[in-house]
Structures are given as structure tokens and as C-alpha cells.
Amino acid sequence: MPAAMSDKFQVAVLAGDGIGPEVMAEALRVLGVVTQKFSISIQYAACHVGGAAIDADGKALPEATLKACEAADAILFGSVGGPKWESLPANEQPERAALLPLRKHFSLFANLRPGVCLPELVHASPLHPKIVEGGFDVLCVRELTGGLYFGEPKYTKQEGGESFAVDTMIYWESEIRRIARVAFEAARTRGKKVTSIDKANVLQNGLLWRRIVTETAADFPDVVLNHLYVDNAAMQLVRNPKQFDVIVAENMFGDILSDELAMITGSLGMLPSASLGEATGGARRFGMYEPSGGTAPDIAGQGIANPIAQILSAAMMLRYSLGREDAAGAIEAAVRKVIASGLRTGDIWTEGTTKVGTAAMGEAIAKAI
């Protein structure tokens, strides 16, 4: 990771599979405009990842890609996976062999997944219009390098003529404390409320989680903390998403709840995400930025995918890894402006608005900056 003293940055661009390359092209287009306007210099290193890397280099995360990421200030990630690689052994598949190792390698423990339902797009939410009226804005903060995903031991064995599988859920206090701090700090910049998710009525991990989050809250007296069991949280999200500001959850619970949150916004193609490492100095930290949506193989290559999630991921990158709130805000404002002007990709289109493809949406946002 180069020490970024001036506004000259290196970004590893990992477009990946499915719609990844098409939406990435639009993110780069928008970055081109915004960096010029705000005098930011970025050098891009395009690298293979996922299925595309399996085809080209024989594995989902080639050495050269990892090296380029190590040399960069941030990773701008598209999406990986697809039907073509689904028959490979589990641990060679793009998701397991690229995404999870990248998270672990760079200790990207803090996953920010904003779930925003814009007032203009409430019709796209599957929830009752009365529930989502006026839109909502929930930030899911998911712990990303601990818990069941990475806990050891982890294996499948045979005994007495049948197989059994073991995954280990383990959290250290320090892991809980650092993700809780991320949630409280985020809440400070928005609705000043954190809802911590656990299963303290069953799991030891839940008891520890609740105790450490509560302790951490003492450093943030301006933020209101409440706790929910994960099953109740899943229910509350569809009953009344507006009650939430920031939710913080361990890895697996956050995986599940963030998909639910994305679904109820009605616009998966609009949601970015950031996976951050420890803050090293000042406002900048290494991170990987990717759309929440995935590869969407059913529409890949048709030029109709919504590029907004990728474009907003680039905005998050400017904010968290490059320390350029000004440029990040400009992209976000341009996206809102274009939505307000009535332009829509197919996923969010309704009668009375103008349907456009991936490139036209990217162009419009670039122009609005």
C-alpha cells in the first residue's frame, strides 16, 4: 500500500464476470470526469479476477492480481461467478477462491452496505407502499473477516458410515470492538442510532457480542444503541425499515440481513458497498468497493444492466480510500439528479419514465457532474 501523500492514487480494477465489465466501464467513465473536475490523479491497473481469471490464468485470484492489489490504494471490484464455473470444485469457484481470500488477505473487516430506497423509487420496493412511503436509508455494517466464515476448525469428515461437517463461530473481543466502533462512527455522521444484531438468547458469541458492543457505546454518548435478536431484526426490517439507522452484525447475520435490506429497497442495481481495513492514517484506509448485486448472468452482455451500484461504489472509494469527500459527494449528487430527471434502467423503470441502457445511464451521470 503506497503512502498516499499527494492526490496521486493507484487503483486496482477487477471487473470480473457477468455484467461486471459493462458496469465497470461506466464507473471508469464517471471517475474520468470527476477526477478531472477535482484534480485527482488516479492510475488504474486492470486485473483478471473470478471466472475470467480462471479462463485466462487457471485460477480465480492470480498472483499478478493480488500483487497489483497490494500495490494499490484501493480495489474497485465488479462481480465474480456464473453458471460456467459452477461445476468446479467448491474451493476453486470464483466466490470462494477470489472474494473471500481478498477479504482475508487485506483484513477487510468492515463491510458497509447502504440500503437506500429513494423517494422516487419506492414503487420498486416489494414492501407495501405505506411502509416505504418517502423512502428509507439504512446502513448495514457487517463484520467481514470473522465468525463462521473463517473460524477454525472447519472441515467435513466421515465417521461411522456418515459424514459430518464442522464450522466454528469464534469472535474475539477486539474483533467485536473494532466493528462496533465503525458502526458508531458511521451513526455519528447520520441518524445517530445503532441497532446491534445478535443471538444472545442462544449463542455464547451473542452474549459476548452484546457485552462488547454495549461497552463500546460508552465512548459514543451521542449515539443511541439498541439490541435485537437476529430473527426479530429480519422481521422488523420488513415490518418497518424506517426504524433503523445503522445496523451492526457479525459476518453471517450481516450477510443474510444485508440481502434482505437490499431486496426491500427494490433497487439492488443501485446499491454499492465498501469493505474496509483498519484506518491507518488520517481519513484514508485501504478498501475494496463493489456493487451489492452480483454478476446477473441473465442480462450480461446486453448493455441493459444498471451501472449505478458500480458508480456509487467508486464514490465510496473516493470517500474512504482516497479521502476525497468532495468528489464522492459530487458523484452521489449526480446520480440523484439523473434519477430525479426521470432516466431509468430496466430494473427501476416505471410508466412515465425514460428507459435507457447501461452506457446512456453512465453518460448521463458523467454529464451531471
Binding-site ranges for ligand IPM (CB under 6 A):
95, 99-100, 255
57, 137, 167, 259: the catalytic one is: 259
| Distance, CA of 137 to chain centre | 15
Q: Which of ligand IPM, Mg ion, none interacts with 331 (beta carbon under 5 to 8 A by kind)?
A: none
Single out the catalytic residue among 255, 289, 320, 347.
255
Q: Which of 199, 245, 289, 347 is catalytic?
A: 199
- Name the residue nearer to Mg ion (CB basis): 31 or 249: 249
Residue 199 annotated in active site: yes
Cβ 33 to ligand IPM, closest distance in Å? 29
**31 or 141: whose CB is closer to Mg ion?**
141
Q: How far apart are CB 302 and ligand IPM at their closest, in Å?
A: 23
Indicate whether 347 belongs to the interface with Mg ion (CB under 5 A): no
298 is catalytic: no
- From the CB of 99, what's the least distance to ligand IPM, in Å? 5
Distance CA 364, CA 369 (A): 9
Footprint on residues 225-254 left by Mg ion (CB under 5 A): none
Annotated catalytic residue, options 149, 171, 289, 320: 149
Query: Which of residues 15 and 334 has its CB atom nearest to ligand IPM in the complex?
Result: 15
Grid coordinates belonging to 256: 443474510
Whichever of 34 and 249 has its CB closer to ligand IPM, that residue is 249
The three cell numbers of residue 208 are 459476548
The residue within the footprint of Mg ion, chosen from 26, 255, 347, 363 (CB under 5 A), is: 255
* The residue to which cell 424506517 is assigned: 242
CB of 215 to ligand IPM, least distance (A): 27
To Mg ion, the closest distance from the beta carbon of 186 in angstroms equals 20
Site string (259-298) toward Mg ion, x via CB under 5 A: ----------------------------------------
Which is closer to ligand IPM, CB of 144 or CB of 334?
144
Give which of Mg ion, ligand IPM, none residue 99 binds (C-beta under 5 to 8 Å, depending on kind).
Answer: ligand IPM
95 binds, among Mg ion, ligand IPM, none (CB under 5 to 8 A by kind): ligand IPM
Is 198 catalytic? The answer is no
What number of residues does the chain have? Answer: 369
* Residue 173: CB minimum distance to ligand IPM, A: 23
Residue number closest to ligand IPM, CB atom: 95
- Select the binding partner of residue 263 from ligand IPM, Mg ion, none (C-beta < 5 to 8 A, by kind): none
Instruction: Give whichever of 249 and 343 is closer to ligand IPM, judged by the CB atom.
Output: 249
User: What burial letters (b/e) apply to 76-90, b meaning 16+ CB within 10 Å?
Assistant: bbbbbbbeebeeeee
C-alpha torsion sign, points 365, 242, 317, 105: negative
User: Which positions are catalytic?
Assistant: 149, 199, 231, 255, 259
Contacts with Mg ion, residue ranges (CB under 5 A): 255
